[in-house]
């Protein structure tokens, strides 16, 4: 079994994150450490891959809760292999595509009425006279509609 010999500082430096981020990930159950005889946290080298997967998933907009759920699906909570990463990223593809679609609608609606109810724009009365869209829900209902 591989020894847990990496210090908090060494892992943080190698991963390009703050020590407080390591503690946060551990608190959230995304990574784990062991204590040495001096009661200092130590990590196995494979924590680097877990942190890299966390960072990559976060860059894609995946929540920490979803990442934790994905990690929990791995046998013995092992560090994701290349094959595991392919499965995890594929499972997030629909969510990412939905977010891309939403962001494209947002980009294309930035200067127009999004149905928020403010009625402050000259073209809002065309789309949302007297805030009739409030019946559909709260927030930017035009933007939130499924296309």
Contact between residue 127 and residue 113 where contact means Cβ atoms under 8 Å apart: yes
pLDDT in tens, 18-64: 999 999 999 999 999 999 889 999 999 989 989 998 998 898 889 99
Q: Kindly list the domain boundaries of the chain, sorted by start residue.
A: 6-91, 96-144
Measured in degrees and rounded to the nearest 5, phi and psi for residue 43 equal: -125, 150
- Is the model's pLDDT at 2 over the cut of 70? no
What is the pLDDT, as a whole number, of residue 21? Answer: 96
- Is the model's pLDDT at 130 over the cut of 80? no
Which of 141 and 96 is assigned the larger pLDDT?
96
Torsion of CA 104, 109, 114, 119, to 10 degrees: 170
What is the pLDDT, as a whole number, of residue 74? Answer: 84
CA angle 10, 14, 20 (to 5 degrees): 65
Domain 6-91 fold:
Multidrug-efflux Transporter Regulator; Chain: A; Domain 2 (1.10.1660)
Residue environment code for 17-31, b if the CB has 16+ CB neighbours within 10 A, otherwise e: beeeebeebbeeebb
pLDDT in tens, 90-116: 888 888 898 898 888 888 877 777 777
- First CA to last CA distance, the chain: 52
Contact between residue 59 and residue 17 where contact means Cβ atoms under 8 Å apart: no
- Is the model's pLDDT at 131 over the cut of 90? no
């Amino acid at each position: 079994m591989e020894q847990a010999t990496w210090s908090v500082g060494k892992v943080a430096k190698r991963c390009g994150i703050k020590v407080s981020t390591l503690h946060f990930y551990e608190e959230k159950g995304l990574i784990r450490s062991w204590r040495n005889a001096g009661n200092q946290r130590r990590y196995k080298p494979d924590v680097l891959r877990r942190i890299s997967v966390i960072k990559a998933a976060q860059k894609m907009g995946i929540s920490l809760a979803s990442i934790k759920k994905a990690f929990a699906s791995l046998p013995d909570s092992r560090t994701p292999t290349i094959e595991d990463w392919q499965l995890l990223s594929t499972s997030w593809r629909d969510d990412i595509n939905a977010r891309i679609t939403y962001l494209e609608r947002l980009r294309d609606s930035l200067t127009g009425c999004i149905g928020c109810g403010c009625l402050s724009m000259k073209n809002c009365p065309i789309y949302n006279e007297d805030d009739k869209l409030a019946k559909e829900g709260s927030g930017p209902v035009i933007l939130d509609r499924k296309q």
